[in-house]
Amino acid sequence: MVVDKSESRVRRMFGQIAPRYDLMNRMLSGGTDVYWRWRTVRTVAPEADGPILDVCTGTGDLALAYWKQARGKCDVVGTDFTHEMLRLANSKRDHAGLSNGNGTPGTVFLEADTQALPFDDNRFQIVSVAFGLRNVTDTRKGLREMIRVCRPGGRVVVLEFSEPSNLLFRSVYQSYFKHVLPRIGQLMARNQEDAYNYLPSSVKEFPHGQALADIMSECGLGDVRHHPLTFGIATLYYGIKPFPGE
């Protein structure tokens, strides 16, 4: 059965689970998602100049991790099309007191669909997405938009769930994802969109490993690399936007 990833369903679903989204991420990953973001901002580290964009930003964790890694030397923009998530992202930023030297916010959160980003071409040094690309209705359209707004020589980064290669570990992981996670998730973050059954189904259906790397190359990125994290539960992908004529 094909997972329903229509914009309206995804927006409703994440709006409903937004208040407990961070708590559930920490509990269901054992806090490992924090390490995955830490690894991401160091593997694809920011340079001194040029803004950074984090799409499908949710409550803003990767956007804020990039701002901290850059030590306030470049602006970070986070976008998401779920208003409830952005409200929490803004609250998290304000509570942390993150600002540039002139007192303005170092990270700005805007409501926008990844498939139609409201930015000029060739603007950002890094365009990232963490655990959100598989929720975009048209994966290739979302990737091409990310590449469009990335500057030549800049990097596009995808952090996404995947499936472990070890057969024994994969069996345990799939059993947990299929039977345990939905029950815990629904108990703690009740919603009408069956969000925590959607999660394992969307991960299983979404391409991972070399298959997703190939799609990134097909969409226009060069030198695409991917590294499995924590036995392959997640994978970090990144590629470079070529200069014209390359």
Using the Cα atoms of residue 65, residue 34, residue 165 and residue 203 in order, give the sign of their dihedral.
Answer: negative
What's the pTM value of the predicted model, to 2 decimals?
Answer: 0.92
Q: Which residue has the higher pLDDT, 63 or 29?
A: 63
Average pLDDT in the 224-244 region? Answer: 95
| Ordered alpha helix ranges (H), 5-159 | 7-17, 21-29, 32-43, 61-70, 83-96, 139-149
What's the DSSP call for residue 167? H
The closest of 215, 65, 206, 192 to 126, measured between CA atoms, is 65
The closest of 45, 222, 240, 215 to 136, measured between CA atoms, is 215
> How sure is the predictor about 215, in pLDDT bands with cuts at 50, 70 and 90?
very high
Q: What mean pLDDT value characterizes the chain? A: 88
The closest of 237, 167, 233, 241 to 200, measured between CA atoms, is 233
Question: Measuring CA to CA, how many Å separate 138 from each of 49, 106, 117?
Answer: 31, 30, 14
pLDDT at residue number 28: 63
> How sure is the predictor about 58, in pLDDT bands with cuts at 50, 70 and 90?
very high
Q: Are the beta carbons of 65 and 37 closer than 8 angstroms?
A: yes
pLDDT at residue number 63: 96
**What structural domains and CATH numbers belong to the chain?**
7-240 (3.40.50.150)
Maximal CA-CA distance, the chain: 53
Tokens of 105: 């916010």
Question: Measuring CA to CA, how many Å separate 98 from each of 56, 58, 72, 87?
Answer: 20, 18, 8, 16
Cα 90 vs. chain centroid, distance in angstroms? 17
Q: Are the beta carbons of 136 and 142 closer than 8 angstroms?
A: yes
Least confident of 25-29, 133-137, 203-207: 25-29
- Of 14-18, 115-119, 203-207, which has the strongest mean pLDDT? 115-119
Average pLDDT in the 22-26 region? Answer: 77
Interior CA angle at 132 toward 131 and 136, to 5°?
Answer: 150
Give the span between the Cα atoms of 67 and 26, in whole angstroms.
21
pLDDT at residue number 126: 98
Helix/strand number for the chain, H first, E second: 10, 7
pLDDT at residue number 23: 78
Q: Are the beta carbons of 43 and 110 closer than 8 angstroms?
A: no
Q: Are the beta carbons of 113 and 135 closer than 8 angstroms?
A: no
Query: Would you tell me the crossing angle of helices 210-218 and 139-149 to the nearest 10 degrees?
Result: 60
Question: Tokens 């708590």 — which residue?
Answer: 23
Cβ neighbours of 133 (radius 10 Å): 22
Give the span between the Cα atoms of 159 and 144, in whole angstroms.
16
Q: Which residue has the higher pLDDT, 107 or 24?
A: 107
Q: Is the pLDDT of residue 192 over 60?
A: no
- Report the percentage of the chain scoring pLDDT > 70: 89
